[in-house]
Amino acid sequence: MGTVAWIIPVSSIVAFLIVALGQNSSRKLPLITLFATIIGFIAFIVLSNALLQNGTQTFEITWLKTKEVMLIWGITLDPLTVTMLGLITLTAAGVQMYSLVYMKNDSRLNWYFAVHSLFLASMITLVLANNLILIYIAWELVGVCSYLLIGFWWEKRSAAEAAKKAFITTRIGDVGLLIGIILLFTETHTFNLSEIFSAASDGEISQTTITFSTLLILLGALGKSAQFPFHVWLPDAMEGPTPVSALIHAATMVVAGVYLIARCLPLFELSEISMTILLVLASITALLGGVIALVMTDLKKILAYSTITDLAFMMIALSCGGIVPSVFHLIIHGFAKAALFLGAGSITHGSGETDIRKLGGLKNKMPVTALCFSLSSLSLIGIPPLGGFFSKEGILEVLNHEYGIPLLLIGLLIAFLKACYLGRLSFFVFFGKESKSSSNAHESPKLMLLPIMLFTTLTTLSGLLLFSYGKYDGFSMFLNQEAAHAINFLHPITISSILVSLIGLLISWNIAKGKSIPGINILMKSKAIQVPIRNLFYIDNIYQWFINAIILSFGRIIALIDRQVVNDKLVDGTASILNYSSRTFRYLQTGKMYNYALGMTFGVAGLAVLNIIWQFIL
């Protein structure tokens, strides 16, 4: 099975090399990357069956061995790994199929698919790795690929800036991750995750090291998953092609942070400080993203803030030890967000517009897109019996069990905000008054609609994964050997969550129809509330001020020191001294007799004068 597992990333790497090296030849080369991705999905099916038959397996090969250190390339096939493999390979296959039409007229089509393939290989390697050094290598490759794809249309200034912003912002977290890995290695002399977890549980790692290392790992996860205070890069990343956004949000870049926390959860659970900080930052992120999404007007940016909120929702669950509902929501969110972003691309393709205020009535012009987009939104909102309802209920139950009513209320507020902004988006675009931009809109080609329909079906029916079939005992038992929480529709938490979602949808429906809602209108017209939200709470402004006033000013001082002290005084000064001294001392060796005779004369005269002075002193 180890060979089968390695086939998945290796096939995508081979596809990357073929397409990248031959990118100026046939425009049919993207079919190679699609074929490699399909191979990966078939391998996932084989591995899933093997896992159900044989349980968790580990495969390792020695890369470097010294007296003190042994570096091993290893993979672990466990339920979490296989779950992520299914999400990544299936989503990538659908996105690539969609891209064949969406990107067909782009001059750099082959390069797009080449990087796509490398992106997939990097993320799969990250998921397969059973040691921190291989995880970090794959982690950095994921960042590089996201930079290349976000800035794919680098001719646009905004796209180039967005790519740099994403790269630099996530690098800050990556430095923290690297230091955390080094701390753990220094303490345990191994990069192997299972060995580190075992050493930590046996008390072989000090509590201080566990706390600091988990906080540093958390820093890397926050950067990749666009969590506060690193959330600023993700909305700008929408400058990339829409299929790229679908892949990043559904199954690669941003889910990497959630995956890393889930993988390292045994370590995090040993540090109450780290778990508390994770809970606080995730809660801030979810509420911040939800509020900002309410006022966004760009189609893709609303979905971007939706992703930020949902990832935070997963992080909150992980901070309470709820790995099953968190990962389950990760799957459902992945399929839903793939459908929504590809649906957004379909809307743009059919109407040429991304501002929801200029769209409306598309349910008649684009009925398939409208149905899929609406169903995927309702699933994410958590309307029963769609898949998102089950994952939302699982997370709310964990929050209530771990922290009681206060955290449960935060969870319900997050659910309410989600219903408001996703409902507002769908109602404006599909059920609002037909606009000028919508009058000439048309449905997308079938090859674009097929992946959207697939992902919509998956996100709506994915609640069935909780139930057992044959040797499959349900997702909870599959992932963590826990009995699934039975959904009770008469439970107060369930009733409350359904009610807040329905109320959110009702409010957004009335707003889309232009109806007056007491209290809501005041909030919508209040400049004291609206201006800070529309300016993203000035967080980007604060960062820009810090860069301009602190970092660039400090950089100018360093540059001045470098030029005038290091360069002019030390480097050039040393050269000047040598030049002057060489010009002076060259007169001692002229090769001319009269110079030497004159020197000896002055020397003898000088000695005579010194002798007279010496005699006088004595």
CB atoms inside a 10 Å sphere around CB 55: 10
Q: Is the pLDDT of residue 518 over 70?
A: no
Judging by DSSP bridges, how do beta strands 70-77 and 57-65 pair with one another? antiparallel
Of 341, 351, 361, nearest to 428 by C-alpha is 361
Percent of the chain with pLDDT over 90: 61
Residue 40 confidence (pLDDT) = 94
> Where does residue 523 fall: left (phi above 0), alpha (psi -120 to 50 degrees), or beta otherwise?
alpha
Domain count, the chain: 1
Q: Using CA of residue 33, residue 38, residue 44, residue 47, what is the dihedral sign? A: negative
Average pLDDT, the chain: 89
CB environment 318-337: b (16+ within 10 A), e (fewer): bbbebbbbbbbbbbbbbbbb
Out of 92-101, 305-314, 457-466, pick the least confident: 457-466
- CA angle (436, 440, 441) in 5-degree steps: 105
Lookup result for tokens 């009995």: 483
Residue 389 confidence (pLDDT) = 94
Quick: pLDDT tens for 551-588. Answer: 888 989 998 888 888 887 777 777 788 777 777 777 66
User: Distance of CA 101 to CAs 25, 330, 346, 451, 563, Å?
Assistant: 19, 28, 11, 12, 53
User: 3-state class of 22 per DSSP?
Assistant: coil
Residue 217 confidence (pLDDT) = 96
Q: Are 187 and 205 in contact (CB under 8 A)?
A: yes
| Both tokens assigned to 175 | 């430095």
Quick: pLDDT tens for 426-455. Answer: 999 998 887 776 778 889 899 999 999 999
Q: Is the pLDDT of residue 522 over 70?
A: no
Q: Is the pLDDT of residue 254 over 70?
A: yes
Identify residue 484 by its one-letter amino acid code. Answer: A
Q: Is the pLDDT of residue 467 over 90?
A: no
Q: Are 539 and 532 in contact (CB under 8 A)?
A: no
d(CA 267, CA 299): 39
Out of 70-79, 175-184, 243-252, pick the least confident: 70-79
Q: Using CA of residue 403, residue 409, residue 411, residue 412, what is the dihedral sign? A: positive
Residue 487 confidence (pLDDT) = 67
Q: Which domain holds residue 604?
A: 540-617
Residue 2 confidence (pLDDT) = 66
Confidence of residue 325 (pLDDT cuts 50, 70, 90): very high
Q: What are phi and psi of 59, to 5 degrees?
A: -130, 130
Quick: pLDDT tens for 583-608. Answer: 777 766 777 777 777 778 888 888 88
Identify residue 244 by its one-letter amino acid code. Answer: V
Residue 145 confidence (pLDDT) = 95
String of DSSP letters for 528-552: HHHHHHHTGGGHHHHHHHIIIIIIH
Q: Using CA of residue 564, residue 570, residue 574, residue 577, what is the dihedral sign? A: positive
Confidence of residue 490 (pLDDT cuts 50, 70, 90): low
Give the residue-averaged pLDDT of 182-205. 91
Q: Are 448 and 318 in contact (CB under 8 A)?
A: no
Give the residue-averaged pLDDT of 149-167. 93
**28 or 98: which leads in pLDDT:** 98
**Residue 44 maps to a domain:** no
d(CA 174, CA 216): 9
The model's pTM: 0.90
